[in-house]
Structure 1
Amino acid sequence: MTAPVVHPTAIVADGAKLGDGVKIGPYSIVGSNVVLGDNVELVSHAVVEGNTSIGPGSRIFPFASIGHEPQDLKFHGENSRLEIGANCTIRESVTINPGTEGGGMLTRIGDNCLIMASAHVAHDVVVGNNVVITNYVGIAGHCHIGDFVRFGGTCVVHQFTRIGAHAFIGAQSMVDGDVIPYGMAVGNRASLTGLNLIGLKRRGFEREAIHRLRAAYRQIFASEGTLRERVEDAAEIFRDDALVQDVVRFIADAQDRPILLPRNGHEV
């Protein structure tokens, strides 16, 4: 066991739970309901409040504001939570808010995420594992971000939007519709610009699987028929392909938000 190290200028409220090897740097503040896992480090000037848990090995840099009440006028002090996973890096001036009664009472960040300086993750957002959120990205409330998603700088994401696993969002994009798994979206307002082929190759997806996914993409976003009809056809033609079925299920699960389409695609 390694006892926590707390700088003399830091404030740790009674009731806070600190794991082995925790380091709390100068002028940091830890609230009474906070749980810091083993080897968490608050570098300096970081504030962690509310019903917040930080997973083992995560690091939080100066001026980050983690767990303060949501920026939502409907919030009325409910006992909501924020959970951040293991081995996350949260850089300078990041803000992450807990959940609300209207969104399940929980904001959750997965493991191995990198959230760069001045990014914002709002209330009731669910972020998967191995996600990179770059500088000045703003994710509005109730969004769901899949595993291995990558954001370019200064993106904004409309509330209730879903972004599927392994998707890539280009810099300065305004995303106001759902982005399919493995897709790439760019622009203001963003449109679907193809598949995240570079990301798929980097993560070791087989060439044949990528080829099948490309074929399914061309069919789903062709100009003939309706999107629903094309999705049903792809579901049947590629019924044994796991990647294509991920896309099919994602589109089928769409509810109140539109699916981003290519510029020459037809609306549902």
Structure 2
Amino acid sequence: MIHPTAIVHPSAKIADGVQIGPYSVVGEHVSIGAGTVVGPHVVIDGWTEIGQGNRIFQFASIGAPPQDLKFRGEKTTLKIGDRNTIREFVTMHLGTEDGGSETVVGNDNLFLAYSHVAHDCRVGNRVILSNGATLAGHVIVDDHAILSGLCAIHQFTRIGCHVMVAGGSMVAQDLAPYTMAQGDRAKTVGLNLVGLKRRGFTEATTRTIKKAYRLVFRSGLKVEEALERIGKELESSPELDVFVDFIKNSERGIAR
């Protein structure tokens, strides 16, 4: 199912059931998993591994060299998981040697038109990057996060799981799990309660998260003091531990 106008390097690894549309280009070191559909005018290059069941729309650029002045053509990779949807004009770049040498994208993600995943980023599972959402280098986006249109994430920033970032936001500090953020520079403005409900969080778990959120973001306490009170006053749970551990381990600081 490779269109006769497509250019596929003979050394590329193309699994059974892959479709490659007209005028697309697939480079020498690319591997594409079973059932993946590559639309017309797509360029896939570099040491790029693409899993099964993905859909890549026209004019996407996957596996190009990183936009990093230190890059000198060394072997670095882009690894994309399964069942991702990559829409028109999306760009995803290889990693850099200084950043761990790989960019990683998980499973079941949706990348809308013109969204960008830069070098050495790590995107989890079931993440949505809306139109024009941009990740600078070395960004981590955890599972179920949603980045609305035209928002930009500063390099080395981490977006926690189940976070909702409002359209047009400029994010320069880490965003704690379960929260919503907006603005330039983005601040945390509440909990993503709709998202938590949709993903099956119980009322009891949500109440605990609310209490922890108020201590960190609304009490006026220092972060260390808020975390200490959470440890003393709230019963531990896996969901609460995710919230607390994220804040404890934040390197850029939490956007409050």
> Would you say same fold, with TM above 0.5?
yes
Q: Give 1:213's aligned amino acid.
A: I
Among 246, 249, 255, the residue aligned to 1:250: 246
Matched, 1:82 2:105: no
- Alignment of 1:114 with 2:128, yes or no, is no
Aligned ranges 1:20-59 → 2 under 5 Å: 20-59=16-55
Q: 1:42–1:59: 8 Å Cα contact kept in structure 2? A: yes
In the alignment, structure 2 segments of 5+ residues that lack a partner are none
- Displacement of 1:239: 4.3
Match of 1:207 in 2: 203
Q: Distance in 2 between matches of 1:237 and 1:78?
A: 51
CA contact (8 A) 2:215 2:221 kept: no
SS at match of 1:154: coil
The answer as to whether partners of 1:23 and 1:42 remain within 8 angstroms in 2 is yes
1:12 pairs, out of 8, 14, 27, with: 8
CA gap 1:224/1:62 in 2 versus in 1, 3 angstroms: closer
* Residue number among 187, 192, 200 corresponding to 2:183 in the alignment: 187
Check conservation: 2:84, 2:108, Cα contact below 8 A. yes
Q: 1:122-137 counterparts in 2 under 5 A?
A: 122-137=118-133
Corresponding position: 1:64 with 2:60:
yes
- 2:97 maps to 101
TM-score norm. by structure 1 comes to 0.93
Q: Which runs of 5+ in 1 are unaligned?
A: 262-268
- SS of the equivalent of 1:6 reads coil
| Shift, 1:224, TM fit | 4.0
Q: Could you tell me which amino acid in structure 2 is paired with residue 131 of structure 1? A: V
Is 1:222 the counterpart of 2:218? The answer is yes
Q: For residues 36-94 of structure 1, give each alpha carbon's deviation from its aligned partner in whole angstroms, at most 9, with x where no partner exists.
A: 00011111100100000111000111110000100011111110000011000100000
1:237-257 C-alpha deviation (Å, 9 max, x unpaired): 2242222211110011112x1
Q: Which amino acid aligns with 1:21?
A: G
Q: CA deviation at 1:167?
A: 0.6
1:122-201 equivalences under 5 Å are 122-201=118-197
For residues 75 and 183 of structure 1, what CA distance do their matches in structure 2 show? 35
2:250 is aligned with 1:260: no
Give the conservation status (yes or no) of the 8 Å contact 1:118–1:136. yes
Q: CA RMSD in A?
A: 1.0
CA distance in 2, matches of 1:128, 1:239: 28
Contact 1:235-1:245 at 8 Å conserved across structures:
no
Aligned residue type for 1:163: I
Q: Quick one: distance in 1 between partners of 2:126 and 2:192?
A: 16
TM-score, length of structure 2 as denominator length? 0.98
Q: Which moved more, 1:23-32 or 1:229-238?
A: 229-238
**Count of aligned residue pairs for this structure pair:** 256
Change (3 A) 1:224 1:134: closer
Determine if contact 2:111/2:129 at 8 Å carries over to the other structure. yes
Question: Is the Cα contact below 8 Å between 1:70 and 1:99 reproduced in 2?
Answer: yes
The 3 A distance-change label for structure 1 pair 60 and 224 is closer
Percent identity, aligned pairs only, is: 46
Residue aligning to 1:265? none
Superposition deviation, residue 225 in structure 1:
3.5
